[in-house]
Structure 1
Amino acid sequence: MRVILGSSSIVTPPPSPPPPPDSQTHHHHHHHRPKPKSKHSRRLRNLSPPRAASSSRLSTAQWDLLTSRHKYHADLASKLAEDGRLQEFAMVVESAVVSGANASKFASMLSVELVSSGISRNLIEGRIWCVVEVLKKLDKLGVPPLKLFDGSALDLLKRECQRIVDCGEVEEFVDLIEIFGGFQFRIKELGDPCQIVKLCVDKRDANSAIRYVCVLPHAHIRFCTLIHEFGKKRDLVSALTSYEASKENLTGPNMYVCRTIIDVCGLCGDYMKSRRIYEDLLTQNITPNIYVFNSLMNVNAHDLKFILQVYKDMQKLGIVADMASHNILLKACSLVGRVDLAQEIYMEVKHLESKGVLKLDVFTYSTIVKVFADAKLWQMALRVKEDMLSTGVIPNTITWSSLINACANAGLVEKAIHLFEEMLLAGCEPNSQCCNILLQACVEACQYDRAFRLFQSWKQSKTEETPVEGSDGKTDRISSVEDKQKHHIIGTPNFVSNSGHLRFAKRFTFKPTTTTYNILMKACGTDHHHAKALMDEMRMVGLFPNHITWSILIDTCGSSGNVEGALQILRIMHTTGINPDVVAYTTAIKVCVKSRKVKLAFTLFAEMKRNHIQPNLVTYNTLLRARSRYGSLCEVQQCLAVYQDMRKAGYEPNEYYLKELIQEWCEGVITDNNQNQGKLTSYKRTNFRRSQSLLLEKVAVHLQKNTAENRAIDLQGLTKVEARIVVLAVLQMIKENHSLGIPLKDDMLIILGPIKSGANPARHNSEVTDAITKLLQDDLGLEVLLDRLALDESVDPENPLDSDHNLEEIIGSKELHIELESSTRRPAILQRLKVTKKSLHIWLQRRSTV
């Protein structure tokens, strides 16, 4: 008899074992015989045998018959799987297991070849989730899915997983990996962990990345990789999320992970977060190891006070500092310029080395050399070199570069070149930075010719022996090609020749950088064409000019007096795709100021502001020093606006210099009328030691007022000389406005300040009052009235201008007599001077006729 299963026909199994003699199951079994099913039906008939007796009561023949039946079911299931009918395959397996078959033994009866063939067919057709559902069902039945895959099926599974990864479906891939990980598959074989982690990081998908890492072996290492990858992307939020997940998924705190997240905090520039992580560890009574401490100190190396405290914490916790710890301390000293402390640490580690506790490495020596180099202590740097050679430590490229830099910073070009030769003789290959240090030393010493000869010899060192000038003044042979190149580079005027030996015992590979060409362009001085040729050569060797390159070119062109050419270079920067930065604009502004084109400089400054480029300290100082004197009110207002903008930006301007210029402009009120010219010198030479901020702010406020406003001059808080400058500044503005046809509408009122309770009004602030009265009456011939007014109780007598009342309202209120009637609460008295409108008109007319 055949049972129809879809389109396939399968032979029926052998009969079931006979029942016991007293059993009446034969008729019952016959009564429930299933009927044949339709061709299109997907449901299987119940293949379960009748309830068998207990295993202890089964005979050998019955066991053989039962095994034969399970074998038949296994063959049936295998053939169904081979046809790709995995759902029906799972149903047969489920039926056999439910009927009493041992899942593990039944799985061994299945044909792995046939089942794998069916799985492969489904994978090829892209039905991976169908395979997953079947495997999940088998896993619940106790049939290990891993045993159903042969090599071919595994390869197809890997290929399908890779396809999903290539499509960027990270979340789907992770879902699969979590499932197959539960099936005991080797997860690493289903995808490259590095590629998957990188893909998750690129997508900023921290959740999928964490889920994937958790199913991988050696999860702590994978978490470190994940956190570090997020750090390289400057994604600190995702890195911290991964760190928190590691604490939840790993058994106990892992110092590798702690160290990595602290390093990432430094990489992302959030050193405060690294400190909080450290504090959390201490709060949880977790003692970090030496590597965590070193990372923490390295990230916070800019804060010497903090890392010294961390160093003390190490000692309290019993953590012995290693060589890296001391190297980081030296690095911190180098960053903040603490030469004294660096020397102490250096002597301490030398002492520990003598006792055999530590062994100084090349990094230690290089760091201490850098400390001395930055402090221009070249002799001490050379002593360190002798120390390291005596202990058998070989200087590396960084050490030699620091030594050369120490001499270069001190202006010892010959000594720096000698060290460079010594470096080559020692067999150490110099890098581009080392060569650039040497070139920079030559340029700063104005040895431009030597810089170009060094550069040319290094360029040719790779191909053939370079003819260089020896100490005896003789010159070796030179190839015709090199001769042409050398003539092109150094055959220009205005270079200072320096006869020093440039012979190097060993050739080395020299790769110039953009910085190399920038240094050489500085050596061109005012030769704009030579600098332009170097920029073209830079492009030919595959380097690209940066902002510094363009700024040097602008400066070189401007130094030759070609201001228009310098500004044209500034415009060309836009066309090359490099937007001028603050350095380029400042350089152009300096060129304009040097050529006395101040208006053009201020035009560039306004253009900077429009382009949202924040000026720096050099920009502001260049503009404030653009004029040696002021000729008009507009110029003063322009410079005061720059001064105020500079203060708002957080810079400290040279207020004394600006005050001197404004004072000179103000004194023009007197000197233009040829009156009391001698007093100008005495006031101008007055030495002001305190800050001039208040004075300049007062001048700026009054000069920026609308010409139609009342002239109320506030002199509170100023000395008599400062008060004189403010008053003269307002008078100078009135004079210039009058010359432009702007009429004077009101009296000029000068606020001297409130009279304190109990003070004699006649003596209050007499010094400032006398000085200003004398200036207005004697020097300028103006009519001055001294009067006082009572302030409302709501007005602060110490600072009436900060109250809710308008100054003009206060000044225009009812005048009071000096002898006020006594009362229980006297109002505050504000003392002021008044220069009448009529007097000012007479003064202006008198000046216009002079």
Structure 2
Amino acid sequence: MRDLVIVFPSSSLITNPHHHHHNHRRRYATAPEHNRKTKYTSSLTKQLPSLSSANHLSNHFPDAVRWTPDGSVEYYADFASRLAEDGRIQDVALIAETLAAESGANAARFASMVDSDLLSKGIALNLRQGKVESVVYTLKRIEKVGIAPLDLVNDDSSVKLMRKQFRAMANSVQVEKAVDLMEILAGFRFKIKDLVDPFDVIKICVDISNPQLALRYACFLPHTEILLCRIILGFGKKGDMVSVMTAYEACKQILDAPNMYIYRTMIDVCGLCGDYVKSRYIYEDLLKEDIKPNIYVMNSLMNVNSHDLGYTLKVYKSMQKLNVTADMTSYNILLKTCCLAGRVDLAQDIYKEAKRMESSGLLKLDAFTYCTIIKVFADAKMWKMALKVKEDMQSVGVTPNTHTWSSLISACANAGLVEQANQLFEEMLASGCEPNSQCFNILLHACVEACQYDRAFRLFQSWKGSSAKEALYADGIISKGGTFSPNKLNQQGPGSLVKSNSSPFIQASNRFFFKPTTATYNILLKACGTDYYRGKELMDEMKSLGLAPNQITWSTLIDICGGSGDVEGAVRILRTMHSDGTRPDVVAYTTAIKICAENKSLKLAFSLFEEMRRFQIKPNWVTYNTLLKARSKYGSLLEVRQCLAIYQDMRKAGYKPNDHFLKELIEEWCEGVIQENSQSQNKASDLEGTDFGRPVSLLIEKVASHLQERTSGHLAIDLQGLTKVEARLVVLAVLRMIKEDYTRGDVVKDDLVIILGTGEANTDSGKQEVAVKDALVKLLKDELSLVVLPAGQRRVLDITQDARFVDDADQNTEHTSENTKSIVGMSTTRRPAILERLMVTKASLHKWLQRKK
């Protein structure tokens, strides 16, 4: 075997062990103390072909350690042990790797001879110095020669040191490095879960949006499927559906068999992310693979799709087909679905079935079941049925909890039964159930809805322990002589006093703790009526308690201020809302707009509408309707255009406006053209009574198109498909627009062209066009003294959504604008047709515009 030379930076010479084998331990020379504290690096120079060559190198490297086959493995084992004692574990690994490269037998002998205690001490020394990365990679290298890494780090102190450093790495940007090192340790069968809480590592991977790292980590830990579920759930709570699907697809590759827990988690996460359609696909994939889902998967699927009654019932029927027995959770979800859908009848049937199964011993109804069915009846204002359910649950020994009592109180409150709600509250206290803020808020809301404002404030003051005695005297619960009146207490509400064995009464605030919420103050604000200063005091009080006013709070305060007629104050509160850090919503703006409209500050109302559009706050139906009804009549074209723009925007948003109301205003505005000329006082609606029942929106859209899409002063009115009344309104609207534009300096440049249609004389549409033509000629000539001439006939080719001109009898009418190209109601048949037109001359329009009223 050839000589091997290893060079160490030390001032002492280690001679050939062949000459000093009997005392090689004593002749081991250590480096000076100052050299031991420096970072030690060793390097393998190269294998030498002969001893003479090694001797030649020793002149240059006096610290060379020469190895020869006879008994040298023992020497290197002893030497490595000494290096390990000094903490030079990387050099130990180098020696081990070198021996392993030379001979497997030598490596095995080296592993059996090296001092494991000294090696453990060296590893512990490195761990105390924070070199956990160096330790892990050294363990990986020495494992190759047969040294068991677990035997070197099995003491409690080493494990504690590793745990401390791994936790520090996992909580920093080094989490990926920590996973790399733990993956190596996992190969040694090290208990990784003892180093770091696996859920903490998963959470960090979720926070940094690294699903691949999380999956890698989960795969080298026991109970991988639980960690995979935690990964899916973590990204689901974050709303990262892309990472969720990445983890889900990886689960299918990692796990050998379908795991119902993972499918259930995936369906729940779809609900968290609002992607209920994806949950259905997952369920369908299960069925396609002939995998029978368990009851937990089915319940999760129903719960995620509880907003869809039809689909939930479909899943319930599938459970019966698949022989999956429904449990109590299944019935609770079904009742919840009925509650969301407002299906009281179906909820009653499900409740009866659940009771039947309970009587058979197959189910045991819980408090959630009773609470849900009570809520169904409460929302439907069926308070008697809700009380009947309370009797049912008490008869089987189920004690109503706080949520049950809240639902019962709400059932009576929704029905306007304030006294009954108070009585239930007292019954709740007598049963020993502690009320929560929701119970108090429900009672306050019941008083406000019943317009018992003073009572709401008295209850509030007594509950929070302030001015309790005065409130009780005011309600008559305590007489002037100090006598307690329980009947009066039941009539007036909980009042904050109940009977006590030691005294006739105690304050309720001594029995339970009532902490007002933002919702509490929002309810009380509604009880302020138009008393702005009282409302302001309430807001200051809630701020002093650390409660932040929300959008409802500000909107209510705006309404209170506006109720007293203070428009400027209401708008000022809206501005304060901005500066206070609360972004106004559609309710706040709509409230301010309503106040402006009610006080005839229409310009301010429309400016607030434009402002909310700038802030990208979508108006709702109330916003649009408030603006459309703000005017009792139109005085200018600008006002008409404003309202028509709002009308069209409202229809595009999917809301149905009050067409007839707007039609009456537009009709009155249009007829102003006739009234100004003192020719007639008749309205269009008085001329023909056969137009009722037609879609009013078509007329308004036609008016809007002509008033808002006029270009370059060229006028062409398209009346195709309109009746006499509608055609009259459209023509009058355009004439009024021309008149208002004229007063602002716009000059009529061309003749006014009126398009009547393409109907044949013998058809119904042709007869209607003749009637429209006669009515318009009468209107324009007799009532307005305008000159009306036939504009010639134009041949058109009927094509769907387009009309292409193929011939023109009058070459001087090319100015008829692009509006004439949009022909409404034309036939889809490709055939030439005659376009009937009238023309109001430019000269007569000038005379009409210059005519005095």
Classify the TM-score, shorter chain: 0.7 to 0.9
**Relative to structure 2, which stretch is displaced further, 730-739 or 254-263?**
730-739
Instruction: Check the 8 A contact 1:293/1:310 in 2, yes or no.
Output: yes
What residue identity is the alignment partner of 2:334? L
Instruction: Check the 8 A contact 1:786/1:833 in 2, yes or no.
Output: yes
Partner residue of 1:203?
208
Q: Deviations over 1:647-675 (max 9, x none)?
A: 22232222221112111211222233444
What residue identity is the alignment partner of 1:604? L
Distance 1:138 1:841, change over 3 A: same
Per-residue deviation at 1:678?
A: 4.5
2:495 corresponds, among 483, 499, 502, to 502
Per-residue deviation at 1:94?
A: 5.5
Partner residue of 2:554?
550
What residue identity is the alignment partner of 1:594? E
The separation in 2 between residues aligned to 1:220 and 1:709, in whole angstroms, is 74
What residue identity is the alignment partner of 2:610? A
The separation in 1 between residues aligned to 2:640 and 2:519, in whole angstroms, is 40
Distance 1:31 1:648, change over 3 A: closer
SS at match of 1:566: helix
Normalized against structure 1, the TM-score is what? Answer: 0.84
Instruction: Check the 8 A contact 1:75/1:111 in 2, yes or no.
Output: yes
What residue identity is the alignment partner of 1:737? D
Distance 1:155 1:70, change over 3 A: farther
What residue identity is the alignment partner of 2:255? L
The separation in 1 between residues aligned to 2:211 and 2:803, in whole angstroms, is 60
1:616 and 2:620 correspond: yes
Partner residue of 1:445?
450
What residue identity is the alignment partner of 2:575? R
1:194 and 2:199 correspond: yes
Counterpart mapping for 1:609-648 below 5 A: 609-648=613-652
2:753 corresponds, among 745, 749, 755, to 749
Per-residue deviation at 1:243?
A: 2.1
1:372 corresponds, among 370, 377, 381, to 377
1:424 corresponds, among 413, 418, 429, to 429
**Relative to structure 2, which stretch is displaced further, 128-137 or 581-590?**
128-137
Per-residue deviation at 1:451?
A: 1.0
What residue identity is the alignment partner of 2:214? A
Partner residue of 1:434?
439
Q: Deviations over 1:239-294 (max 9, x none)?
A: 22222222222231111111112111111111111112112222222221110111
Q: Deviations over 1:309-360 (max 9, x none)?
A: 2112222222111111111111111112122211221122122222222221
Unaligned runs of 5+ in 1: 17-29, 51-68, 479-497, 814-824
1:145 and 2:149 correspond: yes
Partner residue of 2:92?
89
1:725 and 2:729 correspond: yes
Distance 1:105 1:217, change over 3 A: farther
Instruction: Check the 8 A contact 2:108/2:145 in 1, yes or no.
Output: no
Partner residue of 2:164?
159
Partner residue of 2:341?
336
Per-residue deviation at 1:207?
A: 1.4
Distance 1:637 1:206, change over 3 A: same
1:131 and 2:135 correspond: yes
Partner residue of 1:243?
248
Counterpart mapping for 1:61-80 below 5 A: 74-80=77-83
Per-residue deviation at 1:739?
A: 3.4
Partner residue of 1:561?
565
Instruction: Check the 8 A contact 1:787/1:833 in 2, yes or no.
Output: yes
Partner residue of 1:178?
183
What residue identity is the alignment partner of 2:289? Q
Normalized against structure 2, the TM-score is what? Answer: 0.84
2:294 corresponds, among 285, 289, 292, to 289
Counterpart mapping for 1:310-709 below 5 A: 310-460=315-465, 468-469=472-473, 474=478, 502-505=495-498, 507-679=511-683, 682=686, 688-706=692-710, 708-709=712-713
The separation in 2 between residues aligned to 1:369 and 1:595, in whole angstroms, is 44
Distance 1:391 1:826, change over 3 A: closer
Partner residue of 2:770?
766
Instruction: Check the 8 A contact 1:801/1:807 in 2, yes or no.
Output: no
Q: Deviations over 1:45-87 (max 9, x none)?
A: 446448xxxxxxxxxxxxxxxxxx9776654432221122224
What residue identity is the alignment partner of 2:269? V
What residue identity is the alignment partner of 1:268? C
Distance 1:526 1:31, change over 3 A: closer
The separation in 2 between residues aligned to 1:477 and 1:113, in whole angstroms, is 90
Unaligned runs of 5+ in 2: 1-5, 25-49, 483-490, 499-507, 819-829
Partner residue of 1:494?
none
The separation in 1 between residues aligned to 2:231 and 2:433, in whole angstroms, is 37
What residue identity is the alignment partner of 1:173? A
What residue identity is the alignment partner of 1:79? R
After superposition, the CA RMSD in angstroms is 3.5
**Relative to structure 2, which stretch is displaced further, 500-509 or 243-252?**
500-509
Distance 1:153 1:45, change over 3 A: farther
What residue identity is the alignment partner of 2:232? I
Q: Deviations over 1:452-475 (max 9, x none)?
A: 1111111119x9989625875535
**Relative to structure 2, which stretch is displaced further, 279-288 or 753-762?**
753-762
Distance 1:750 1:475, change over 3 A: farther
The separation in 2 between residues aligned to 1:392 and 1:84, in whole angstroms, is 70
The separation in 2 between residues aligned to 1:723 and 1:282, in whole angstroms, is 62
Instruction: Check the 8 A contact 2:171/2:204 in 1, yes or no.
Output: no
Instruction: Check the 8 A contact 2:409/2:424 in 1, yes or no.
Output: yes
Instruction: Check the 8 A contact 1:373/1:381 in 2, yes or no.
Output: yes
What residue identity is the alignment partner of 1:710? H
Partner residue of 1:779?
783
The separation in 2 between residues aligned to 1:212 and 1:508, in whole angstroms, is 49
Per-residue deviation at 1:504?
A: 4.4
Q: Deviations over 1:143-201 (max 9, x none)?
A: 21111123333332223323322432111010001000101111012222222122111
What residue identity is the alignment partner of 1:86? I
Identity %: 57
Partner residue of 1:118?
122
The separation in 2 between residues aligned to 1:175 and 1:88, in whole angstroms, is 23
SS at match of 1:139: helix
Distance 1:777 1:344, change over 3 A: farther
Distance 1:152 1:781, change over 3 A: same
Partner residue of 1:24?
none
What residue identity is the alignment partner of 1:688? F
Instruction: Check the 8 A contact 2:714/2:816 in 1, yes or no.
Output: no
The separation in 2 between residues aligned to 1:657 and 1:685, in whole angstroms, is 17
Per-residue deviation at 1:765?
A: 2.5
**Relative to structure 2, which stretch is displaced further, 192-201 or 531-540?**
192-201
The separation in 2 between residues aligned to 1:234 and 1:671, in whole angstroms, is 63
SS at match of 1:713: strand
Distance 1:566 1:467, change over 3 A: closer
SS at match of 2:582: coil
Distance 1:100 1:633, change over 3 A: closer
Q: Deviations over 1:505-552 (max 9, x none)?
A: 353211111111111111111111111111111111111111221111
Instruction: Check the 8 A contact 1:470/1:503 in 2, yes or no.
Output: no
Per-residue deviation at 1:833?
A: 2.6
The separation in 1 between residues aligned to 2:477 and 2:129, in whole angstroms, is 82
Distance 1:221 1:624, change over 3 A: same
1:260 and 2:253 correspond: no
The separation in 2 between residues aligned to 1:804 and 1:597, in whole angstroms, is 54
The separation in 2 between residues aligned to 1:812 and 1:73, in whole angstroms, is 103
What residue identity is the alignment partner of 2:431? A
What residue identity is the alignment partner of 2:707? L
Partner residue of 2:502?
none
